[in-house]
Structure 1
Amino acid sequence: MVGGAVVRRGAVVAVLVMLVQMAALIRPAWACGCGAMVPGNQTSMAVREETSAVRWDGRTEEILMQLTVTGDAANAAWIMPVPTRADLALGDTKLFSRLDTVVAPVDKTRHYFWPRDGDWPFGGDHKKPNGASSAAAPGAAAPPVSVVGSGELGPFQYAQLAATDPAALESWLHTNGFTMPAGLADSLKPYVDQGWEYVAVKLAPAANPGGAGRSVPGKAVPTLGGDLDPLKLTFASDKLVYPMRLSQRAKTAQLLRLFVFAPHRVEPVAGIGGGGSLETLYAGKPDPEQVRWDGGQGPAVFLTAMRNELSRPAAITGDYEFRAAPADERYQRVRYHDELLTIGGVPAWIATVLAVLLVFAAVLIALRRRSNRRRWAAYPPRPVAPPRPAVPPL
């Protein structure tokens, strides 16, 4: 009887554990630095990385955004706030690979003199790498929510929205198939107060090359995964801004990479919280041919590449706003490779030690000879007596 009760109790515990694990699997993992990324029902998704190229000339801003996602969602949507009405277009899929090449660390070799672990006589190979690096015009919105534009771009379906009520905007999104995280209206309110507009985007994996596959009984359903197609938004703005506030609703840590083209090197006006700060990866004026924008020649302006890991998205307090840095100081990361210094294939320390020993030996020999000369000088040879005069014979 007691044994049966123990078995039943164990079975109940096992079922509860399975239910908790299943709930964790189907819980949506919203994430998107620029906006709110949301998967469909009973699926999960996380944005592993968000990469954006931003071009700003003081009046117009362009954002080319690419997301790298993981999960098993068969479709997804996100919303992007913009300060003024935006024009949408598909972005250059190869731009980011070119930018990665430009901002990558340069390799340099530096030599060390004394042997280390692995060098003779402590080991074999004398080479041992050691990496080191060193206010916008408000949109018109008479009703609580207005659809001011819509259309399709490749795998994307989008709607451009204006709103005067964040709760009404959240309701519109739910009604039109955008399953948003709870409390999104609170994060949208600052944008509504400033008269911003919104770009709501839907994406299905069937037309996206990064789509993976998720099996269901009877058929295979393509799922979103990998690098999504880049989307470009162009809008008027007298400030260089990058929207981040909606990432307050993210359930996973955020990794953001920004490539900013502007007349000068840029720096953030202030931090945005979230447990991270922008790290500069590159600053300079690359060859325009290396950073071709939209298939044409790249802008002949200053490029600042930055990276940010936001470990606590819920602590994000606003959007990134950038200003010109005090100076257009250039910066390039360096990856050093340390090598033992050699002379003619012989470790320099050995040649130096041998040279020192030879010099020391020569000095000893010279000192010994000098000492001998002094000794002989201290004891001069005895003078030879003059010969006696010969005695004449008797």
Structure 2
Amino acid sequence: MLLRRTARLVAVVAIALGVGGIGVAVPASACACGGVATPAGESMRVFDETALVSWDGATETILMRLGFDSASDHAALLVPTPAPATVTAGDQAAFTALDELTGPRVVTELDWFGDLRALAGIGGLALLQGAGDAGNLAPGAAETSGGGAPEVVSRVRLGPLEATTLTGGDPAGVQKWLDDNGYALRAEVTATVRPYLDEGWSFVAVRLVGDEPLRGAVDPIRLTFAADRPVYPMRMSAAADSAQTVKLYVLGAQRVERSDPDRVRQLVTVDFAGRLEQPAEPELQQVVAGRQDYLTELNIVIREPGEITSDFAFVPAAASAGDFRQVDYRTELVVFLGMPAGYVLVGAGVVVAWAVVFAVRRARGR
């Protein structure tokens, strides 16, 4: 997701045990989007995190897609946001469209001779191509439990997921709410919640409510909240014990780049930068209609999560950065009569040359 001048995203996710009499939960590792926890003897991991971010100067929208590999039918995410978020269902079609719009530009080169060692099995005339149900709580109906506990602003059902928006409270109160609702986080992960609370952030708790373990990607969820700057929270990932990856699509007025201090310790690559031309997908159309038609695709690898000290921050890239698109070079082997066409042409040329020589000599002899 991209910002008009600088887009700030917030989406840190902590996986935990869901509500419902599951028993004691044994926390697992953190992932790029937060901490992971599962019931005793079960496993859970988030293997894919992709987000589309846009910011119009006052409101930020995150369309987030996560891929799960879980042996548990109960798990949850804790997503910090600068202000209470409205959670709605997203559409996978947006990411499908983004994949198509940002795919590499294909440059094809014809190979007339190929590799003779690979001719076995080639036959005929061909061209061979190489590699290359939802309900928010009514206003004013927030649930509270007194003390420093957070208020439950809304709760919405989105297919196999249930999202609860929390606001307010202090670290002890939020921790008690998590404990009472079955969220079990490692001490290292719990410690990363405090900074966000100290800064007045809210949280969205998203848990699985289906009857079967979840494997694969779930439909995206959309978080919309007030924000005065773009940010992608990553401080909770400092508790991870393995390398983390995240793909961000940032939509805005121009190309963006990371500006936070952690960027120099992480591998950040730009896989696409350019303007979108009237995308057909409705969600992208809405953003582009708001003059946020420049897309930057960032792929981030964090080899040492323990070194994370800041959230992702973004600023407009220098004008000299320009557009960028990957190029996929492919080779097409031209084959004719079971042979690379180049050899056929050379052979034909030799035959024609000898025929001409023979004809000239015969004419001279006469």
TM-score by length of 1: 0.67
The answer to whether the aligner puts 1:147 opposite 2:151 as a matched pair is yes
Deviation at 1:232, TM superposition (A): 1.2
Tell me the distance in 2 between the aligned counterparts of 1:203 and 1:253. Answer: 25
Tell me the distance in 1 between the aligned counterparts of 2:240 and 2:79. Answer: 14
Other-structure match for 2:9 = none
Structure 2 residue runs of 5 or longer lacking an equivalent are 1-24, 133-145, 357-366
Deviation at 1:230, TM superposition (A): 1.8
Higher relative contact order, structure no. (Cα contacts within 8 Å, ≥ 6 residues apart):
2
Pick one of 326, 330, 338 that aligns with 1:337: 330
Query: Once structures 1 and 2 are overlaid, which stretch shifts more, 62-71 or 269-278?
Result: 269-278
Alpha-carbon distance change, 252 to 75 in structure 1, aligned in 2, over 3 angstroms: farther
Deviation at 1:315, TM superposition (A): 3.1
Other-structure match for 2:194 = 189
Deviation at 1:312, TM superposition (A): 3.5
Deviation at 1:318, TM superposition (A): 2.1
Other-structure match for 2:244 = 254
Deviation at 1:114, TM superposition (A): 6.5
Query: Once structures 1 and 2 are overlaid, which stretch shifts more, 42-51 or 307-316?
Result: 307-316
Tell me the distance in 2 between the aligned counterparts of 1:205 and 1:274. Answer: 41
Deviation at 1:261, TM superposition (A): 0.8
Tell me the distance in 2 between the aligned counterparts of 1:257 and 1:285. Answer: 18
Tell me the distance in 2 between the aligned counterparts of 1:76 and 1:123. Answer: 51
Alpha-carbon distance change, 162 to 41 in structure 1, aligned in 2, over 3 angstroms: farther
Aligned positions of 1:63-74 closer than 5 A: 63-74=62-73
Other-structure match for 1:264 = 254
Aligned positions of 1:283-294 closer than 5 A: 283-293=273-283
Whether contact under 8 Å (1:291, 1:298) holds in the other structure is: no
Per-residue CA deviation, residues 8-64 of structure 1 (Å, 9 max, x unaligned), is: xxxxxxxxxxxxxxxxxx964344433334334442100000111111122211011
Name the amino acid aligned to 1:152.
V
Other-structure match for 2:179 = 174
Alpha-carbon distance change, 39 to 94 in structure 1, aligned in 2, over 3 angstroms: farther
Per-residue CA deviation, residues 197-246 of structure 1 (Å, 9 max, x unaligned), is: 2222222224xxxxxxxxxxxxxxx1122112322111122221111111
Whether contact under 8 Å (1:118, 1:124) holds in the other structure is: no
Tell me the distance in 1 between the aligned counterparts of 2:75 and 2:108. Answer: 47
Tell me the distance in 2 between the aligned counterparts of 1:311 and 1:54. Answer: 24
Deviation at 1:80, TM superposition (A): 0.9
Other-structure match for 1:103 = 102
Per-residue CA deviation, residues 87-112 of structure 1 (Å, 9 max, x unaligned), is: 22121232111211212223220245
Structure 1 residue runs of 5 or longer lacking an equivalent are 1-25, 132-141, 207-221, 363-394
Tell me the distance in 2 between the aligned counterparts of 1:199 and 1:162. Answer: 12
Other-structure match for 1:162 = 168
Tell me the distance in 2 between the aligned counterparts of 1:81 and 1:117. Answer: 59
Per-residue CA deviation, residues 250-292 of structure 1 (Å, 9 max, x unaligned), is: 3444331111111111111135379742221211122333343
Q: What is the number of equivalent residue pairs in this alignment?
A: 312
Tell me the distance in 1 between the aligned counterparts of 2:253 and 2:282. Answer: 17
Per-residue CA deviation, residues 181-206 of structure 1 (Å, 9 max, x unaligned), is: 22334212322332222222222224
The answer to whether the aligner puts 1:227 opposite 2:217 as a matched pair is yes
Other-structure match for 1:366 = none
Other-structure match for 1:306 = 298
Alpha-carbon distance change, 274 to 65 in structure 1, aligned in 2, over 3 angstroms: farther
Tell me the distance in 1 between the aligned counterparts of 2:297 and 2:93. Answer: 17
Tell me the distance in 2 between the aligned counterparts of 1:205 and 1:298. Answer: 35
Alpha-carbon distance change, 276 to 339 in structure 1, aligned in 2, over 3 angstroms: same
Deviation at 1:350, TM superposition (A): 7.8
Whether contact under 8 Å (1:36, 1:180) holds in the other structure is: yes
Tell me the distance in 1 between the aligned counterparts of 2:281 and 2:326. Answer: 18
Alpha-carbon distance change, 51 to 274 in structure 1, aligned in 2, over 3 angstroms: farther
SS of structure 2 residue aligned to 1:189: helix
SS of structure 1 residue aligned to 2:178: helix
Other-structure match for 2:362 = none
Deviation at 1:302, TM superposition (A): 0.5
Q: Which has the larger radius of gyration?
A: 1
SS of structure 1 residue aligned to 2:306: helix
Name the amino acid aligned to 1:338.
T
